[in-house]
């Protein structure tokens, strides 16, 4: 299963993406996380539903303020092998 998460709140400049990488890798997920120009953080993660739910719950527990999350189920990506931080949003690459 693959889900897209959009996190809002205090999620940029607090190490949020690196917490996401740590959680995802520990839980055996693949995908990516990235800062968005509007101040949100987008994460796409793929794996077992229980692991996806655990990663979301962990990331919603912020020590820097409230974090809200919107979740969408999206198509899986075949042969994806890792979880990474992305620095350029595909939609604005041009």
Of 2, 4, 17, 26, catalytic: 17
Question: Which of 56, 75, 91, 63 lies closest to 1 in space, CA to CA?
Answer: 75
Q: Is 61 a catalytic residue?
A: no
Number of residues that make up the chain: 94
Of 25, 35, 42, 86, catalytic: 35
Q: How far apart are CA 58 and CA 45, in angstroms?
A: 14
Place of tokens 């996190």: 7
Q: Is 26 a catalytic residue?
A: no
Backbone φ and ψ for 55, nearest 5 degrees, come out as -65, -45
Q: How far apart are CA 94 and CA 10, in angstroms?
A: 28
Question: What positions carry a catalytic annotation?
Answer: 17, 35
């Amino acid at each position: 299963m693959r889900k897209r998460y959009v996190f809002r709140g205090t999620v940029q400049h607090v190490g949020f993406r690196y917490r996401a990488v740590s959680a995802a890798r520990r839980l055996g997920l693949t995908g990516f996380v990235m800062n968005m120009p509007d101040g949100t953080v987008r994460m796409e993660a793929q794996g077992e539903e229980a692991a996806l739910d655990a990663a979301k719950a962990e990331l919603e527990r912020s020590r820097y303020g409230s974090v809200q999350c919107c979740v969408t189920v999206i198509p899986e990506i075949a042969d994806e092998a890792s979880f990474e931080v992305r620095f350029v949003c595909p939609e604005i690459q041009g």
